[in-house]
Structure 1
Amino acid sequence: MSLPTYVPLEVVSERLPLIFPEGTPNRTYCIRDLAASAVFTALYIGAVEGSSRYLGPVHVYRMTEEQSVLANDADREAYASGVLKKGYHAAGTRWYADNTREPIRDETLRDGLVAVGAVLRREDLPTTSSAPRYALKADFAALFDPALSGPALEAAIAAFQTAHLSKSALARVSIMLSGAAGSAAGVLVTFPSKETRSLAPGPSSIITKAVVEDFASRFLESPAVLWLSESGNKVVQRDDKLAATIGLKIEADKNLPDLILVDLGPKDPLLVFVEVVATDGAITDRRRDAIFELTDAAGFPRSHVTFLTAYQDRGSAGFKKTVSALAWGSFAWFASEPENIVHLRDGATSATRLSDLV
């Protein structure tokens, strides 16, 4: 089988961030220089699905600047086979040292490109075998065709993402892209009442939109928004009439969270105090207790109050930073996995066995 069209390293480096935009799992492993080097080398030696040619980390870390610009098939074939022989050295300055083998194999390939469906791995080789075992998926390799550009390239990338990224990963990408798209005009949120409000552009607004439009309809029987504020204490929505009806007086207070929802479906309304976390500001024990002081003063039973911290994704920096401080008894929800919810169950009041929870 003939080798693919020669693709310059620069083309690979430019396209990887387009194929794997913000929100892609382990994105760094998929778009960094080491990933571009691995994809370039796979194309260079023809390690593409269906070719019976395979890439090993050795092909990547023994590539040289001088070898990489030799575009004719004979030079490429000679490198592909020669690098596997003992004592072979390509002329010129090597890209990487031998100790780069593990990052190429474990991070760039296994946890990066293989995990997102861009690279396949031979499973018929013993784990101890040093034989090359990786190849680019055919539709992934096709994205680097220099003749592919403009709308055709965009369509091919979208088709690859649909075919190979998981549902959760696609949700992450969608959330991040919607945030980028709304960066100039702001983020339009539709409330349960069908009213709309425009929030300032940014990741917090994207998560807020997901809570109001998606979380509320999934997890509340008859949802309404009592309060919504943005950074700088800008009040976007405040429903004093509804709050008075259910017996809660809302006053601007430093302890109020970003969002207050109410479920009017149950016999006794349920208040849901929500903190939206892009970088910081989760429902901690201190925040929970401060809010309880407000609801206690209003005569609202604690059994009718709950707390939610909303994040973009389990892999987000905000979640990793705040997860250890989340209050017991509260909930965590991720916009990228909207059908799921995490309950940090407080066992102090109702100890139970694990078998009772499964």
Structure 2
Amino acid sequence: MIAGKRILLIIGGGIAAFKAVDLVRLLKAGGASVVPVLTRAGAQFVTPLTLAALAGHKVHQDLFDLTEEAEMGHIQLSRAADLVVVVPATADLMAKMAGGHADDLASTLLMATDKPVMIAPAMNVRMWEHPATQRNLATLQADGVRVIGPVDGSMACGEYGPGRMVEPAEILAAIDAALTEGPLAGRRVLVTSGPTHEPIDPVRYIANRSSGAQGTALAAALRDLGAQVVFVTGPATVPPPTGVQVIKVETARQMLDAVQAALPVDAAVMAAAVADWRVANAASSKMKKDGTGRAPGLEFAENPDILATVSKHPTARPGLVVGFAAETDTVVDHATAKRLRKGCDWIVANDVRPDTGIMGGSSNAVTIISGQGAESWPMMAKDEVARRLAARIAGALQG
């Protein structure tokens, strides 16, 4: 709950800064105290008067305010908050944070704080995808900084893609989750979800019927228990949850790269329905019928085994690895053998024959297989499966 909590809100210099005004309003409506810190660039987009009027607090801008610095005001500011939130986190601010720079009030506060930090990145799609930004992102995540967004969307510059800041309501939900002390507070959990798409040519691909609903529900349930969730998702039909770090991929190889980049984590929940095979001779142009009636010859190659890679990682194996097994016959036997073969701690098995309605549906019936045996759960909503499994994960991590 945010009521009674003190938020130090650092506003960066980007067009998304205007959303910080609405975030202040939402935080105040929820009973939080908001202390705004406006960067010099941020002041080009929103005014100190607007922020002060909405927050009911003085807006801090200058590191060298002699009155306050006589009492080390920047140290007091950085320590008095329950959470430090950066909205928007520009490429420049992220670079300063990752590099440990402290050349203005905002960066000095971020260096001096002993409180948790959350950032909502926003920038041009090319800036977001630039290797330097991605390196900085990885550094910040390894340092324990919570990241929400960005999402795909239209940019002020006219381009479209990842880099658009999430909406204030989603940031509010993430703040609420970060301030809620749950059994997974301080834990970092990786969740994979959805199908993968393996290209045949530029317009066709191999896929499966996974909707991503169960993985999405699991990510949300783990978030609600206080975990910092890294959500790696294939092209699912359900939207990703808010308040988690979302990494979108298409293929199994892309998912493996994203998973390895997310390590180390305390737990990995591998709910994605990863394609076993990919087309080794995928065409660079759309395949055409030639009138002979002969189908093109497709050559298949085995995809990387992501679950086994994580389970047997030589240096960064999570403390708990949970795999999933979607089976159509002898479910428990196949899943039990899979757990031993992959080296994971638990397998969540289910029967995905078409008549069950599980794959792509809203309900699930699972069997949890571990070294202690198999435990079957009755059919229930996927959200309830997620809550029960998240609670069990929390119990295992607590020891």
TM-score, normalisation: structure 1 = 0.25
Judging by fraction of residues, say which structure has more helix.
Answer: 1
Between Structure 1 and Structure 2, whose CA radius of gyration is higher? 1
TM-score, normalisation: structure 2 = 0.23
Judging by fraction of residues, say which structure has more strand.
Answer: 2
